[in-house]
Amino acid sequence: MILITGANGQLGECFRQASVQWPALKFVFAGPQDFDISNRAAVRAYFDSSQAEKFKWVINCAAYTAVDKAESEPDKAQKINVLGAKYLAEACAIRDIPFVHFSTDYVYHNRQNTPFLETDPVSPKGVYARTKLAGERVAFRVQPLTMVIRTSWVYSAFGQNFVKAMLRLGRERAELNVVADQIGSPTYAPDLAEAVLNIIQKVETGEVSKESIAGIWHYSNEGVASWYDFAAAIFELENIPCHVRPIATRDYPTPAQRPPFSVLDKHKIKAAFGLEIPHWRESLRRCLANLS
């Protein structure tokens, strides 16, 4: 049985949607209404329940992702991104359950022009990035059998995200200014969920060992884009006649700094688990079809 925490969020909802395609895997979906991951006693009580005895995997989709708001809410970001990761990892360690946890491209704020490897130095800027990195580190410290997946620019048909914002704004306005000097790779959340479930299935069938999942991994869709490119593709595919004007980051100041370049190298996860990752434009088409 697989426990999905943060089940009401964007990625959690994508796991819920994907679960029907995996009848051999059984799921429990938990949100904040079930227990508070940032409360150690609440986590222990939940895992001490009879149902929890059947958990074989824990996938943590809970996160504080309001990047700019985190600058004024550091304690809240710390509770969810660090303490939540710690207490869930502790519960997994006690029961020898593999812990799957998601992190972010924001941990890379180095200026380079080649995709980041998992072994590259990190230099997080801002509360969100620092708390996500701290969450990774505390999870590994208390449960070595942790799989941290760093991902980027996540979107889907659920929740609030760039694609849905662009669709709304593009239909309201004749012209939009979009940052063109931040480079990365969009990630369609259903693709990420499917990749994780593929990996778990390979462990369950003995194709790969449970121990092989431990460590840091990168996952995003293939291809590279700026936010400007991403917005232009959304309008092109949806035939929205909104003109996109490229601007520089300095012309769109935000409370939190964004990485100027955060393309993730995915050779490690593809080679280890035989994954085929779609190009971001292909996945964007699927997302837009689901939203129409």
> Using CA atoms, how far apart are residues 283 and 154, in angstroms rounded to an integer?
12
Exactly one of 46, 128, 155, 188 is catalytic; name it: 128
The question of whether 219 is a catalytic residue gets the answer no
**Looking at the annotation, which residues are catalytic?**
128
